[in-house]
Structure 1
């Protein structure tokens, strides 16, 4: 019998008769598994390559965010060298731990704009617009209201009608804020940016104080492993096997149809096959979901042939349509009296004091998460004439090659031409050095102005590599991740808009009262001869752009185009295969103006609902439900 939060051993796992298997115990995967197992007639098996880490403070303590990147809990992927970034290759962290990337992220909890999700439905994905998704967004969450004093002091403003009250994931405003946050709203107001008092209700444009995925009592990370799996681990029909690396789907031909019959995986160095008469749900994320499809024979025949794999389902969309939020991290030196996370890492006495305050009072620096946020349309700082020219340029390019112009591209162009009031760029200011390229100097204190492009035109791909040393490609081979940052006509537009956005970021940092705690800009360095002139950020943006860890789209919903435009239908069923679905960020056809974790939880809830609906239809006649 199951019941241990760490899962079962492989022998007992294989004895179960599963109706459903979830590949990947990550953000969405554990949502799907937990919700399906609410039906006692369903038996769900979860295969997770990582291990539980419920008690690791690098994961549980909010103020230690980022410490697990590059650790044993990270798959440690990397991109190919990017011509648009001057040939640089970027690390691409993804969670290899129970809970997946929800155990590694920075716990930001927000949603995109109404138009972001309505665009999915406009593409033909019925049931995926804002109104249809709202019940699932709310179902994931228990929102804890801040008291009046907190609201007044930290601008923790909300509209409770758009929050859930009974969901597994806990959301709360931080107990402690960095020294810069007290100046954030007032600074933004001086630049014409209003405080958004209801940023969860369909528009996140403006400045606001961010919610976090943290428990209100213990002030620990709230993530899928602790919110969805651990409380339900004693269900006999929810069976987890950790340290289980899935190698391939077992697909068999029945007549003219490919049917999913099981999953091949390794555990403890031994290979096993678990079979089922039901459905497999892939929740491997935007990197590994397309990778698993391809090694199983689903994908572009040319890529599969080069990898030594037989094509079972011809679908060139697998691994394509990759979109990612591009980010820059501008560093400023700040007042030396301000305490930063770097101080805690450098001074054991300070760290000990912070740990003690956290343990005894659940407050202090160990609870602080970046929360000074603003989402803006480009029209706030780019003249409409320029935006229209950029959009017109892309329309002209698409007319040269109509075959490459997709409905998704046209939606993105329309957002420029129509001057939409959407959060096209995100700004996030925090007292810490976030740049991998700027080394903090001893005795200096720093803060970072992060800016993230929300609706990228740049589109890339993630595929399995070709045969090496005469051996066919497997899941053990690192995927080829090529985001194509700033490449192609659309990439050129992304670059120009990032440069323009960086100029406005510099203006934010130069505006009081935020400027009162800033000594100077140090990355890129400010020089005396540049004062009074506009600094050219072009070279710096190309040399410093990094990933924002938000990849989507590689197994996207096809909508009206079906298999010609995507990998799954609006019920998340993989085209051309029976008994196979995907539930994770890879199914998103267009990016959203938000950190995606809250949306991915919603995808998991929606996926479970669809699967349960279909189960009920099939089994209603037999009296089993």
Structure 2
């Protein structure tokens, strides 16, 4: 784990003259700060709104995943009421702690298919294809191979040429699994899905066992704060926590008339400060807060800024737009009550205490088990050719996308593409926030998650004025409107989720998995296979927002917020490096890709700074 972060006061921090100021000490921000500060001639300051929390049980213990959500280490964002979800608002957890969301997530470590990253390059973002990113994926990670017995028993495959061996994040296969995992691969095989033995090597299609961001030596979460800041004694690196950035300070060049980032204003306690950046300000605040900070700084849609009482400096209507998120629904099944179930630890204090003692003594047992049974499939695997063609025709007609964006989305429906359009995860335990069984009935449950990977629903995130017309403030949560299932594109998402729910039901009713399943509990088996109302009333986010500060590609500022070097259009010495720069959503959990983006972003900063 990371050493104790050296203490620095806000006054001391603001008085230092940094070459680079990094806004956000989360997943991407700590990567960027660590890589830049490897060069002793460069001084780096990091500003993080959350606290520095070291060795927090609910962060470090794998089996405690989810326990920090909704607590003090979570920003606790919410969406606006969503008409496509029957007027519901959704919780949007994001990490408010050093390490960001990498401290809160469920530790899944996977990559999208080659075609997903190549699509970024096809949009004109030179240097962002699969071959360009692979070295940075590998640079971020150290893969620890499983032993032979574990490999054979749990089907733990990997491509040795595609994984990193000397990066900060420790990744590994688990050594213990839910009882249902032994049935997962054979069940998907019975439905003509093959085990993918190279699922991080450029194609994620098929069935496979997931890799985790867990250090097998200590059996603890490996995340940005524990892995990228092991050497906090670097004199050229300062980290200030519990400090809220209010805006990037911009000045206009007298000679060129260009806007230039010169530093960052922030609030610590009850005091306001400004810190100077001699070379660059780098925003790494994530898909929710990076656009918020740009808008508070005067960069964004001039109408939105004017309504929020912010002086317009760069009019770019793309800031905060292009929001894309993975959409998830959870089907619940009653299963054999004799099987060990993670819900036992929630209902039985003695079982929870025994699991805790076992983990502390031997680093084994229930608190080492995570969700690992995964499958990514194209729609053509379970939809008829006519159905897929109908969806493709609808996708081709959507006018809310640019022609090049629309062409890529349309091509994803090609049966020959073999892309993971839907993700399925199966695990014992009830994962649904909407299904609340009677704990006294003695029944046990399992969950089949379905997660839409290439959504057409596209929303936005923007600042809004405070009460009574008070100008927007960094302390005010931005308005998050994903527009789930809205408009013609959203209707495609809803239609595909209905088909995907039918196949989820089929998966769990297929042997050998069906041997441990008694009945579908939610939606009730009596509902048959009419899933539309259930999907509308229970869909939630899989917490994978991207795109709100997207790379513009060949269309430049007409289509995006940053160029292919992640420089903000119209402002010198200002970059964004995080998931918000992704122009198109990918078929994968985002964690590994965000690390790769940060590694590549830091590399580009050093190239542009001419540091060897």
Q: TM-score, normalising length from structure 2?
A: 0.97
Corresponding position of 1:296: 297
Three-state SS of the structure 1 residue aligned to 2:328 is strand
Corresponding position of 1:512: 511
Corresponding position of 2:208: 208
Write the deviation string for residues 163-216 of structure 1: whole angstroms up to 9, x where unpaired: 000000000111211111011001110011110011011001000000000011
Corresponding position of 1:444: 443
Three-state SS of the structure 2 residue aligned to 1:469 is helix
Residue 339 of structure 1 deviates from its aligned partner by 2.3
Corresponding position of 1:316: 317
Q: Distance in 2 between matches of 1:138 and 1:397?
A: 37
Aligned 8 A contact 1:26 1:224 in 2: yes
Residues 1:457 and 1:155: Cα distance change in structure 2 (over 3 Å): same
Residue 56 of structure 1 deviates from its aligned partner by 1.2
| Correspondence 1:533-544 to 2 at 5 A | 535-544=529-538
Three-state SS of the structure 2 residue aligned to 1:354 is helix
| Correspondence 1:163-562 to 2 at 5 A | 163-229=163-229, 231-255=230-254, 256-398=257-399, 404-417=401-414, 419-442=416-439, 443-527=442-526, 535-562=529-556
Residues 1:577 and 1:60: Cα distance change in structure 2 (over 3 Å): same
Q: Which segments of structure 1 move beyond 3 Å, counting only runs of 4 or more?
A: 403-406
Corresponding position of 2:83: 83
Residue 518 of structure 1 deviates from its aligned partner by 1.2
Residue 419 of structure 1 deviates from its aligned partner by 4.7
Q: Distance in 2 between matches of 1:143 and 1:404?
A: 39
| Correspondence 1:65-214 to 2 at 5 A | 65-214=65-214
Write the deviation string for residues 557-612 of structure 1: whole angstroms up to 9, x where unpaired: 00000000100000000000111000100000001110010000000100000000
Three-state SS of the structure 2 residue aligned to 1:276 is strand
Q: Distance in 2 between matches of 1:257 and 1:614?
A: 19
Q: Distance in 2 between matches of 1:365 and 1:235?
A: 38
Write the deviation string for residues 232-279 of structure 1: whole angstroms up to 9, x where unpaired: 211111110000111111111113100111111111221111112110
Three-state SS of the structure 2 residue aligned to 1:612 is helix
Corresponding position of 1:590: 584
Q: Distance in 1 between matches of 2:309 and 2:168?
A: 43
Q: Distance in 2 between matches of 1:404 and 1:351?
A: 50
Residue 396 of structure 1 deviates from its aligned partner by 3.4
Residue 397 of structure 1 deviates from its aligned partner by 4.4
Q: Distance in 1 between matches of 2:94 and 2:576?
A: 17
Aligned 8 A contact 1:290 1:554 in 2: yes
Q: Distance in 2 between matches of 1:347 and 1:441?
A: 15
Residue 520 of structure 1 deviates from its aligned partner by 1.1
Write the deviation string for residues 309-354 of structure 1: whole angstroms up to 9, x where unpaired: 1110010000000000000011111111222222112212111111
Q: Distance in 1 between matches of 2:438 and 2:219?
A: 31
Three-state SS of the structure 1 residue aligned to 2:519 is strand
Tell me if 1:577 matches 2:576.
no
Unaligned runs of 5+ in 1: 618-624
Unaligned runs of 5+ in 2: none
Q: Distance in 2 between matches of 1:471 and 1:583?
A: 30
Aligned 8 A contact 2:394 2:492 in 1: no
Question: Which range is displaced more, 168-177 or 12-21?
Answer: 12-21
Q: Distance in 1 between matches of 2:458 and 2:401?
A: 12
Q: Distance in 1 between matches of 2:83 and 2:514?
A: 35
Corresponding position of 1:621: none
Question: Which range is displaced more, 83-92 or 356-365?
Answer: 356-365
Question: Which range is displaced more, 18-27 or 443-452?
Answer: 443-452
Residue 7 of structure 1 deviates from its aligned partner by 4.2
Write the deviation string for residues 526-551 of structure 1: whole angstroms up to 9, x where unpaired: 12xx6xxx511111111111000000
Q: Distance in 2 between matches of 1:509 and 1:397?
A: 34
Q: Distance in 2 between matches of 1:553 and 1:568?
A: 11
Q: Distance in 1 between matches of 2:72 and 2:310?
A: 30
What number of residue pairs does the alignment pair up? 607
Write the deviation string for residues 132-170 of structure 1: whole angstroms up to 9, x where unpaired: 100000000000000110011111111111000000000
Three-state SS of the structure 2 residue aligned to 1:435 is coil
Residue 433 of structure 1 deviates from its aligned partner by 1.2
Q: Distance in 2 between matches of 1:301 and 1:143?
A: 47
Residues 1:467 and 1:419: Cα distance change in structure 2 (over 3 Å): farther
Q: Distance in 2 between matches of 1:300 and 1:418?
A: 39
Q: Distance in 2 between matches of 1:123 and 1:7?
A: 44
Aligned 8 A contact 2:146 2:172 in 1: yes
Write the deviation string for residues 390-428 of structure 1: whole angstroms up to 9, x where unpaired: 221233343xxxx75442222111212465200000000
Aligned 8 A contact 2:45 2:239 in 1: yes
**Aligned-residue RMSD, C-alpha:** 1.4
Q: Distance in 1 between matches of 2:205 and 2:85?
A: 29
Q: Distance in 2 between matches of 1:417 and 1:84?
A: 27
Write the deviation string for residues 296-319 of structure 1: whole angstroms up to 9, x where unpaired: 100000100110111100100000
Q: Distance in 1 between matches of 2:156 and 2:290?
A: 37
Q: Distance in 1 between matches of 2:401 and 2:106?
A: 36
Aligned 8 A contact 1:4 1:234 in 2: no
Residues 1:31 and 1:69: Cα distance change in structure 2 (over 3 Å): same
Q: Distance in 2 between matches of 1:6 and 1:583?
A: 25
